[in-house]
Amino acid sequence: MLLGSFILGHLGLLLDELDYGGSALVTENKKAFIQAGKQIAAMRPDTIVLTTPHNIRYADYIHISPGPGAQGKMTGPWGAGIEMKTAYDEEFVSKLIEGALAENIAAGTEWEVNPELDWATMTPLKFVNDYYTGYKLVRICVSGLPFEDHYKLGRIIRETSDVLGRKLVFIGSGDLSHRLAPTSPYQYAPEGVAFEEQVVEAMATSNFLKFLTFDLDFLEIAAECGLRSCIVAAGTLDGRDVEGKLLAHEPTYGVGCSAASYIPLGENPARFFLEAYAKVKTSETRVIPLTEDPYIRLAKFAVEEYVKTGTYPKIPRFWPAKMVNSRMGLFVTLRGKNSAVRGCMGTLAPEHKNVVEEVFYNAILASSRDPKFLPVTAEELPELSYEVSLITGTRPLDTPEDGTEGAVLAVSGYKRGFALPWEAQNARAQRDLALLRGAINPGDKTDFFRLSLETHSA
């Protein structure tokens, strides 16, 4: 049974134990968080389900922390800190995943990267633990899946508590915009202020439909943090009247931090917000939809933003698990008019922390640093097409005419030369081009390798 849903930020200034020295700036929020902590403690929940934006986030998968429990530590600038240890409700996790999969929502405990509790989990829980610790936790990280899936997940969380007979409290952890003032982490943007005004009004009026109708591009520019946690909170209250209160909101250092509580009341058919959302036309967005190849969309985003601004853009959030959790060499090829090559750069081995960064930086290099071409101009962007070729395997090239699929690598001492399959008409020509690229003399002792490629194009 759901006892209440809360939306709580996770600004470190709220915690005296971290001694950031700015607690006077969050006086109202601190009072509100203490109030929320006491309110939750009085409910004495069996289980607290908490969503965080600061564990591992995937575009195509909602990660739920596995195992019997976890611990974490936060340390302030002067060495003081908070340590926290909590048990997980494994039965709840299992039943929740079962319910999510039944609704075709990709959720589970795979792909864990860091089992430690994150600060977006520990900050709101600290205010609960000061008064009550008799609960088990379910920690969920929000994802890049559609807003509807997050809303449905909230409903499934409530239904799971009913099936298991758990007294449940939900906490949606998340700050709001990070661009409210020049002191903001990402500098000021009017979109940040506009987002803050709209989402705070929605929280104050319990108008959860507004959470679902924000444009994704707008959210990227506004540098929001916790909207998806708000949406899951709304889903836990699907079809219910609520007693809702915005307990506090403060834009400290240009970062919006709020506290709100929602107590479920009787059923109300007018508050099935997914039905209303289905009737709302949303705008086109350049943030990656799941139906579009993520490798191509990332390469295109990187090139377009770099060419237009002349600076490296911030990599958008939420990528498929296989891109986040793998490292490999790859090449990005740009094609212009008549499919002619307009730039190509890549790495034979990974040079960045994952495939997301490898695609991003190689795409920018292909548009600006390929020595065979001038940098791409903004006027050319509409006519560009993209190829991303992942290096998935290597084998010795047995004969000069050993196939034509894949790329050829020539190795002679410290020299390396590389030829992509489309750069030569046959295997022998590929070998010759690889020698030329590596400045290798034809008579030098050279080993040749055939590289298997997984190519994405659009």
Pick the more confident residue, 402 or 245: 245
Among 5-19, 196-210, 284-298, top mean pLDDT goes to 196-210
Query: 377, exposed or middle or buried, with CB in 10 Å at 0-12, 13-18, 19+?
Result: exposed
What pLDDT does 180 receive?
Answer: 92
Pick the more confident residue, 217 or 224: 224
Which residues, other chains included, contact 87 with Cβ-Cβ below 8 Å and sequence gap of 6+?
68, 69, 136, 137
What pLDDT does 433 receive?
Answer: 83
Where is average pLDDT lowest: 12-16, 81-85, 164-168?
Answer: 12-16
What pLDDT does 210 receive?
Answer: 94
The Cα–Cα gap between 393 and 386 comes to 22
Alpha-carbon dihedral sign for residues 43, 46, 52, 54: positive
The whole-number average pLDDT for the span 257-274 is 95
**Residue recorded with tokens 């039944």:** 102
Token digits of residue 78: 């002067």
Question: Vertex 437, ends 431 and 440: CA angle to 5°?
Answer: 75
The domains found in the chain, sorted by start residue, are 2-278 (3.40.830.10), 294-457 (3.30.700.20)
Tell me: the pLDDT tens digits for 415-456?
A: 888 788 877 777 788 888 888 878 888 889 998 888 888 999
What pLDDT does 404 receive?
Answer: 61
Length of the chain, in residues: 458
The Cα–Cα gap between 422 and 438 comes to 18
Cβ-based neighbour number of residue 200 at 10 Å: 18
The Cα–Cα gap between 30 and 15 comes to 8
**Mean pLDDT over all residues of the chain?**
90
Which residues, other chains included, contact 379 with Cβ-Cβ below 8 Å and sequence gap of 6+?
none
What pLDDT does 128 receive?
Answer: 98
Alpha carbon distances (Å) from 185 to 15, 143, 192, 385, 395 = 19, 22, 12, 34, 47
With bands split at pLDDT 50, 70 and 90, how would you rate the model's confidence at 367? very high
The Cα–Cα gap between 385 and 286 comes to 16
Pick the more confident residue, 423 or 214: 214
Where is average pLDDT lowest: 17-31, 107-121, 175-189, 348-362?
Answer: 17-31
With bands split at pLDDT 50, 70 and 90, how would you rate the model's confidence at 38? very high
What pLDDT does 132 receive?
Answer: 98
Tell me: the pLDDT tens digits for 333-360?
A: 999 988 888 988 989 889 999 999 999 9
The whole-number average pLDDT for the span 124-151 is 96
Written as one letter, the residue type at 168 is L
Pick the more confident residue, 457 or 185: 457
Alpha carbon distances (Å) from 406 to 271, 323, 328, 437 = 55, 21, 15, 17
The Cα–Cα gap between 157 and 27 comes to 32
The Cα–Cα gap between 65 and 117 comes to 9
137 within 8 A of 48, measured Cβ to Cβ? yes
What pLDDT does 399 receive?
Answer: 64
Phi, psi of 412 (to 5 degrees): -135, 100
Cβ-based neighbour number of residue 342 at 10 Å: 21
Among 8-22, 211-225, 281-295, top mean pLDDT goes to 211-225
100 within 8 A of 93, measured Cβ to Cβ? no
Token digits of residue 244: 């809702």
What pLDDT does 160 receive?
Answer: 98
The Cα–Cα gap between 408 and 437 comes to 11
Question: Vertex 112, ends 111 and 118: CA angle to 5°?
Answer: 145
The Cα–Cα gap between 341 and 251 comes to 48
With bands split at pLDDT 50, 70 and 90, how would you rate the model's confidence at 23? low
What pLDDT does 112 receive?
Answer: 92
With bands split at pLDDT 50, 70 and 90, how would you rate the model's confidence at 281? low
Percentage of the residues of the chain whose pLDDT score is greater than 70: 94
pLDDT at position 194 over 50 = yes
Q: Where are the alpha helices (DSSP H) in 190-311?
A: 190-205, 209-212, 216-222, 227-236, 273-278, 294-309
What pLDDT does 270 receive?
Answer: 93
Dump the DSSP string for 177-199: -S-SSTTSTT---HHHHHHHHHH
The whole-number average pLDDT for the span 30-45 is 97
What pLDDT does 239 receive?
Answer: 96
The Cα–Cα gap between 65 and 175 comes to 21
Tell me: the pLDDT tens digits for 39-91?
A: 999 999 999 999 999 999 898 899 999 999 999 998 876 666 889 999 999 99
pLDDT at position 362 over 50 = yes
